[in-house]
Amino acid sequence: MERVMKKRRFWVMMVTAAISATAMALLLAGCGDALSGTSGDATAGGNGTIAATDADAADRSGDHAEAATASSDSATATAARTPRGRVEAFGKVTAANELTVSLDFAARVTVVYAENGHRLSRGEPVLAIDTSERDEEIELLREELALLRLEIQASVTDQEMERALLEHDIAFAEKRLTEEEQDHALREARYDSGFITRVEMAAYRREVERLRKEVEDLRLSLERLRSSRRIDVERARADALQARIERLRDRTRSDYLSGDTVVFPVDSGVITELTLSPGDLLESGRPAFRVIDLESAMVEADVLEEFIRDVAVGAPVEMIPIADRTRSYNGTVTAISAAAFERNNETVVPVSISLDDADEFLRHGFNIDVFISVE
C-alpha cells in the first residue's frame, strides 16, 4: 500500500510539472508575437513617429515660452506702476516722543523700583535717591546768605553813622572857617594900621587856609562815602547766592521729581536704558533712563522707490502686526521722507504713519505689515 501511494504522488508531481512547462511555453510564444508586431509597426512608422513627438514637444515648449513671456510682461508692468488699491510695505512700531531723564544735581541711588521694558504711568516711582548732599549745599548757601545780609546791614548802619559824623564835622568846620574869615578881615585892617605884626598876620592866614582845607577834606570824604560801591558789591553777592539757592530748588521742581523720588514723567510709556543699581552715584547731567511715550505711538515704514510716487500724505493705512495677523490697526500717512536710503540692497523711502487705534497689545518695536491706500 505504501509503495502504491508513493507512485501516485510521483505521477501527480510529473503531471503538474508538465502542465507548468506547457503553460510557460505558450506564454513565451505570445509575448514574442506581440514584440514582433510592435517592432514592425515602429519600423513601418519610422521617422514619422519621431517627428510627431518632436512636434508635440515643440508645441508644448512654445506654450511655456508664451506663458513665461506673459508673466515677465506682467511683472514689468507691476514694477512700473503701483497695484491699484494699495501699496504694501514693511514697518516697525515706534514713538514720536522719546525723552531722556537726568538730574541737574548729583545724588546717590538708594532704591530701584522699575526695570527695563516696564509699562508705567505718570507719577509711578522709578528711583529713590539720597538728596542729602544737595540739601546740605542749599543749607550752607542759606547760612552764607544770612551772614552776608547781616554784614550788609552792619555796613549800612556804619555808613549812616559815618555820614552823620562827617556832616557834623563839616558843619562845625564850616562854622569855624566862617568865623575865622570874618576875624581875618578885621585883622587885615589892624595889620594895615600897624597893630598886628607881619608874623602874627602870617599865622592868622595859615589858620584860615588850614580850616579851608579841613572843610574840603571833610566834604571829599562825605562824597566818597556816598559814592562807595562796597555795599552794592555785597548786595550783588547776596543776590547771586539767592539765585543759586533758587536754581538748586528749581532742580527739584521738575515733572520727574517728587521729593526724594524720581517718578515716571508721561501718562503712559515704557522705560528703557535703566542701568542704575542701589548705591550708584547719579552725577549731574548723566542720563538715568529713557522713556518711550506710548501715547505718541506711530509706525515708520519703508516703501520701495518704484511705489513711492503713488503714496500721499493723508492716505489711509491698514496695518497688521506680525505677532498676531488676526489684529488690524488703522492710521494715516503723516510724512514722507525727502530722501531715499538703501536697505537690504533695495532703495526705500521712509514713511511716517499715525496709529489711530493703538492698544496695549501693540508693543514698541513690533514689526508690522503696512497697506497704504492709493487712488
pLDDT digits (tens, 9 = 90+) for 308-318: 999 999 999 99
H-run or E-run covering 229: none
> pLDDT digits over 133-170, tens only?
778 888 898 999 999 888 888 888 888 888 898 889 88
pLDDT score, position 74: 33
pLDDT score, position 228: 74
Query: How many CB atoms neighbour CB 274 within 10 A?
Result: 20
pLDDT score, position 18: 55
Averaged pLDDT for residues 61-75: 37
The rounded distance, in Å, linking the Cα atoms of 69 and 60 is 14
pLDDT score, position 345: 92
Averaged pLDDT for residues 353-362: 92
Report the share of the chain in percent with pLDDT over 90: 40
pLDDT score, position 194: 79
Whole-model pTM?
A: 0.52
Which of these ranges, 16-30, 100-114, 289-303, 326-340, has the smallest mean pLDDT? 16-30
> Across 30-34, 226-230, 231-235, which has the greatest mean pLDDT?
231-235
Residue 213 has pLDDT above 60, yes or no: yes
> pLDDT digits over 252-263, tens only?
667 788 888 999
Which of these ranges, 19-33, 83-97, 198-212, has the smallest mean pLDDT? 19-33
Fill in the amino acid letter for 176: R
> pLDDT digits over 162-194, tens only?
889 888 988 998 888 888 888 877 888 887 887
The rounded distance, in Å, linking the Cα atoms of 135 and 200 is 76
CA angle 116–118–123, rounded 5-degree value: 110
pLDDT score, position 21: 56
Please enumerate, as own/partner, the contacts of 197-201 that have beta carbons within 8 Å and a separation of 24 or more: none
Residue 291 has pLDDT above 60, yes or no: yes
Choice between 355 and 187, residue whose per-residue pLDDT is larger: 355
90 Cβ contact partners less than 8 Å away, ≥ 6 residues apart:
301, 302, 367, 368, 369, 370
pLDDT score, position 183: 82
- What mean pLDDT value characterizes the chain? 79
The rounded distance, in Å, linking the Cα atoms of 273 and 166 is 70
CA angle 228–232–238, rounded 5-degree value: 150
Enumerate the H helices of 125-193 as residue ranges.
132-193
Residue 64 has pLDDT above 70, yes or no: no
